Chain A
Amino acid sequence: MMRAELFTAGTRLAFDWLGMQTARLGVGSLYLSAPDCAIAQAWLWRLPQTIKEVFVDETATGLLLPDQWRITVQPLPPSHSPFLSIYPFTLDATNTPFQGEHVLGCLHNRLSYRGLLHSRESGRNLRWLRQKAQREGYNLETAIGIYPPAFVWRWALTMLAARISPRLEDYWRQRAFEHLASRQPFALQFSSILAFHARRVV
């Protein structure tokens, strides 16, 4: 499995986008299913102020939040069906069934330059995600691709420019980061990270 690098611009952007979508739904509680505690904690920094209750998996322990904000973090009871579920990189290694009316998540895309470099480690792509959503009664509402081809070629130029002049390097770095994400269909196919919002079909 491709490991999520928590402090890279791409992962941070994916998590921020999930936080923004969460805020738009205006919910008071959510279910967070992360592959490990570090990822769960990294996403929790994005928690909108409306959230008062976070349900997590049994494995997610020791999560930090300010005591005085009185946000409860507890394991998801078996009988409880959440309205919103968040899957930050959870689907990279598992095929966890979606839960709730709304599902937000992100995953590494095999059909990207990084996915191809790690071809034996990542098996997910946009088509797989669409099929999974359809199979489980969900519709893929929106998605963004992070590190699309438009970013990659500009980043390559940044690396080249670094050999010539720091000022030129900064110029191309800026251009690259302006293309860090994309919603274009072509970019979605070949971006390194896909972040998505799926909604249960009534």
Chain B
Amino acid sequence: MPAELFNHPQATLALGRLEAWLDTMRSSRGYTGPVAHWWDSCLIYCGVALDWRYEGILIGYLNLYRRSQNRRWLEKACRAGDDLVHGQLPDGHYWNSSFEHNPQPGGTPHEAAADIGLLELAETLKAENDPAWRRYFETAERNLNRLLAVLWNGRGFQDQPDNPVLVANKNATLLEALLLYQSLSGHDLSHYIHGALRVILSAQVRDGWRAGATVHCGTFRRRISFGIYTARCMSALIRLMTVEDNPACREFLALAAGYLIRLIDEHSTLLGHYGYGWPWRQMPMRWVSPSGELLRALTLARPWVDIPMSTLERLYTLCWQAIRPSGSVATATNLAARGTDSVPDFRDLLPVVGWCDKLFRALSLFHDPAATASLMPLRLPCRWRGRRGWYVEDRECIALQEESGEYRYLWRKGDDYPIIMNLWP
């Protein structure tokens, strides 16, 4: 744990706010909330979704517990684990695990990511001789068996059962889950693990202007490379390197770290690049909360790659400074507006549990949250389809209000659907 690296007092307060905010997003069945994403947004269904948000939340709490031995964090991790146990479907998939494509189960890499969280929880409990570890382990096992049955095609893990594209970051997430499962179960899964590894290594751009980037093969002709997906591939290889040293992985990490460093600016990280289209190859959007994934990957890569401390500190600072007084974190800049206006779009400002968990997990590597953090209401200018309005948030709700005072969107936290949804003409 890189606890000795950075420990800014304001950052502990910010992390405390973020942790308290996560609690405001819960219903009795789990973490809720709308989703804004590059691919698509899910603004109507806001109910419980058992997707990759559980990876960051579970491991974030486990990081806090491992450092402080405070049982409160372990209880919160178990509560999140129970959401997955209770929400598992009879066929092994999880309830609404498709994030931006929710509501539907079978989301990739979301289910495998949730398994990583569950297996880390099981590992922690097993080390303490707590018999509860078995229920989390068995839930993840049922899901992984299902994923192996429907996604493995002999060369790697497909995007979906009916989509044969091999996507590197999805293989990376499965690789991580399988490494953990292998360690806990004693089963030899090296065939699958090395298949997934080949997919990851083959998706990296080796030279040229975006050397180190991992190409998302599902974007076909556009050959887009995303920073966050490159970071997730790094995380998988870092976990693999702790088990077996591999020169190809070492080389991959060095190149990928170089690419990620080039994406960092003062307040955010660049989303990525198109494979062609000069002079507009740089994507016009920037990540805010998902930048946590870059911070985590670069921090954990330090034993294998020389990462300048000034760069890491810049990224750490932008991550904690992004946490707003309400405890939430904006998703992006220009994600939805796509470079057309200086006023952020509603979806840019919208906090998403499945992105904020990335920041929570990354910052939990460094220090504990402050215990006294209080959440403040938030009101920020934004726009929707060219019309100016206000992004409004407090402990109870998230809303888009027009300048006239009329609400266009109003979601009460924990609910399945917004009370007001007038985003269309």
Contacts and interface: CB of A to CB of B under 8 A. Distances in A.
B261 interface: no
A12 B86 CA distance: 25
A169 B27 CA distance: 38
A96 to B, nearest CB: 25
B277 interface: yes
B415 A23 contact: yes
B89 A23 contact: no
Nearest to B50: A66
Given A49-B27, A64-B90, A166-B277, A9 B40 contact: yes
Interface string B1-35: 00000000000000000000000000111000000
A144 B27 CA distance: 29
Interface in A176-190: 177-184, 187
Contact of A46 (B103, B274, B339): B103
Interface in B86-125: 86-91, 95-96, 101-105
A80 interface: no
Nearest to A173: B338
A47 to B, nearest CB: 8
Given A170-B338, A174-B336, A45 B96 contact: yes
A187 B425 contact: yes
Interface in A95-119: none
B385 interface: yes
Interface in A42-73: 42, 45-46, 48-49, 64-69
A20 B103 contact: no
A42 B85 CA distance: 22
A120 interface: no
A165 B274 CA distance: 9
Contacts of B338: 170-171, 174
Nearest to B415: A23
B280 to A, nearest CB: 4
A183 B88 contact: no
Contact of B89 (A13, A65, A169, A179): A65
A105 to B, nearest CB: 17
A140 interface: no
A166 B222 contact: yes
Nearest to A150: B425
B104 A42 contact: yes
Contacts of B87: 66, 68-69
A68 B103 contact: no
Contact of A166 (B28, B85, B105, B276): B276
Contacts of A24: 417, 419
A135 interface: no
B156 interface: no
A69 B29 contact: yes
A133 B44 CA distance: 26
Contacts of A184: 425
Interface string A3-39: 0000101001100110110011000000000000000
A67 B95 CA distance: 11
Contacts of A174: 336, 338
Nearest to A184: B425
Contacts of A127: none
30 contacts: A7-B101, A7-B104, A13-B44, A16-B45, A19-B103, A19-B417, A20-B421, A42-B104, A45-B102, A46-B103, A48-B47, A49-B27, A49-B28, A49-B48, A49-B416, A64-B90, A67-B90, A69-B87, A144-B424, A165-B277, A166-B224, A167-B283, A169-B222, A171-B339, A174-B336, A180-B424, A181-B424, A182-B424, A182-B425, A183-B425
Interface of A: 7, 9, 12-13, 16-17, 19-20, 23-24, 42, 45-46, 48-49, 64-69, 144, 150, 165-171, 174, 177-184, 187
The 5 closest A-B pairs by CB, nearest first: A16-B44, A45-B103, A20-B417, A167-B280, A23-B417
